[in-house]
Structure 1
């Protein structure tokens, strides 16, 4: 009898063990998400997401955002999460959700940054998930500009150095560059790669030859715009001293603005002066030929009397597929822009508004970061690309002289050229001046223009 009971007990124990180790039933896969749409607003800095699904087997929805593109597909070369990744969880009963301005800021897109958010949405049921298959992007609703103040049409234009010749020699393009500027009628233009060297690009003395700087002023005159002048035309550095780019310049409309800063062209009788310029840092391993200059000056609006500062910048151009090295270059660009903002803070003793524009040589979707731009935004600068009206925003601001340009896959082009303002938020209009098909582009960068209210 005892042996029979023992056998029965052993059998029950075996059955119990088998039951205890049996795998749990897999969670059911959520219903397919058939559409996802994100729209800016309703309030400044906000985004509203809407999606469609039957909602079966769905306990929650998750929206993951990033400042760079990303993918969950194993076959994709993209990282699984974007830079500054953030995940927001929404009830499974919802079919829409509004991201607040504070939430957008926490995701890396505060008001004034003009940063867009890459995002993906998926349905969740415990361990089971089902994603909408497409990466999308959205720009939070921009802030409204001031209703009144001093209007300024500000532009930035990297015109490509005369030293970079080939079939796109500067003297063949100077008139086209001038026409492009005149066509937009800006009050002030931050110019890059406009060298005080020879306009023909030859590495020889400028004696008896016209400078590239002077040739632009001459070209403006030739297209019927003699009102434009440069703050500085001569070199910033003493001839013979090893130095990098001196191509950052400021062009202004003398009929609308008065130059207040004393920007001397000469040192004694020598045709150079460091006035209204600042040298930017380089890597410790670089030679002095890597030193770049930035330009700045103070202006007054002839009509309203408003005074403000303008800076033209062109940051280090180097990039690397090696992420560690790319971080080094991003760190350098950050130090360079900090040098400019520190100089502006030092000279701006009356706390005037400041407009900083130029080629920062980085963009939001850069895997190594967006350090210079991040510094400007954290320092109170407003990126005017976050304007109420945006023209050709889906195209990059650099064109490489390509005859045909395609829009960004998610509706946003790479902006390495920026116009940013401190002391005033909002912009009426931002334009990336270009045509998608153009075999005769005036430069390898597009002219960009912003309508501001200071």
Structure 2
């Protein structure tokens, strides 16, 4: 276990925590105590050719070019990446709102600084609204694009958008499916879910190495344990019919990453995925990944995961606790990992 790492030597990188509080009526998707999910079929299916990826990102400003002296938290934790390494982040952005404290207007500059420091190759996001995602895309700069539909269909509702560095990765195809008994039907719900739940996925290629892999990103229900169980089983079934390539699954699973979680057991024990937080030989300090802008909780519940198929090597993992003047970019900690594809 490694201690907290400072970013750029100016922005301290400690590591944030969790405070489990949410007002469902406000549209928040956090659970107060999360157990497990299971089965069903999903919409965007199998193998490598479902749809041509469509970038939803607007024209972006080049202003978000990272400083040449910046070092990512992963670099500070484990040293410079190899050219073929893949830096991945899962990040619940917290939906954009101008009501109350920690508005999007207040949080956006902090998120911009965090992402400017980190520059992940791949970011699985949750809760982003269309206008919010366009803000993030503009702040990341012209080298990034993103894909994914809104959970209410089209551009509506929260997205499970996947951002990627276009100088590093090429999107070959992509798709979306809903976690319901009718996964091809946008905004469909089943199993007592509070809101529509979905998965956005893409097949990527690294032009430098010629290697391909799948990325999938989700946000499981915050209310219904039954929906989480079924959602996890549906995801496992869909991943199983993808082409035999490495898979990286990111998300807010609203479930603890422990043996008591049926969601975790379904995806790790039964589907054969590995939890990079458990397998990485180098890790930053552990905290609850939901903090709700409160104090960090050491060794608290980890609801935000990065999972991979066997054969993908986790070099390092961390929870990024960056904040500025006491303000966090979101009510979740972004979780990051450096991966090596087979």
TM bucket, shorter chain: 0.5 to 0.7
Superposed CA RMSD in Å reads 2.8
Could you state the TM-score of these two structures normalised by the residue count of structure 2? 0.67
Could you state the TM-score of these two structures normalised by the residue count of structure 1? 0.51
Aligned to 1:219: 139
Aligned to 2:127: 193
CA contact (8 A) 1:217 1:228 kept: yes
Cα deviation, residue 195, structure 1: 1.7
Q: Which has the higher contact order (CA 8 A, sep 6+)?
A: 2
Cα deviation, residue 181, structure 1: 1.9
Q: How does 1:261-340 map to 2 (within 5 A)?
A: 261=173, 263=174, 276-281=175-180, 282-285=189-192, 290-318=195-223, 329-340=224-235
Cα deviation, residue 246, structure 1: 3.5
Aligned residues: 252
1:228 to 141, 144, 147: 144
Q: Does 1:177 align with 2:111?
A: yes
Q: Does 1:371 align with 2:262?
A: yes
Structure 1: stretches of 5+ with no match in the other structure: 1-38, 40-82, 84-147, 197-210, 264-275, 319-328
> Structure 1 pair 193/238, CA: closer, same or farther in 2 (3 Å)?
closer
Q: Does 1:246 align with 2:164?
A: no
Cα deviation, residue 338, structure 1: 1.9
Q: Secondary structure at the match of 2:327?
A: coil
Structure 2: stretches of 5+ with no match in the other structure: 2-34, 36-81, 181-188
Counterpart-to-counterpart distance in 2, 1:220 and 1:384:
25
| Deviation >3 Å, runs of 4+ | 234-240, 282-286, 435-438
Q: How does 1:137-216 map to 2 (within 5 A)?
A: 150-163=84-97, 165-196=99-130, 211-216=131-136
> Structure 1 pair 342/365, CA: closer, same or farther in 2 (3 Å)?
closer
Q: Secondary structure at the match of 2:277?
A: coil
Cα deviation, residue 345, structure 1: 2.8
Query: Which segment drifts farther, 250-259 or 165-174?
Result: 165-174
Counterpart-to-counterpart distance in 1, 2:195 and 2:256:
21
Q: Secondary structure at the match of 1:167?
A: coil
Q: Does 1:440 align with 2:331?
A: no
Cα deviation, residue 174, structure 1: 2.1
Counterpart-to-counterpart distance in 2, 1:164 and 1:380:
41
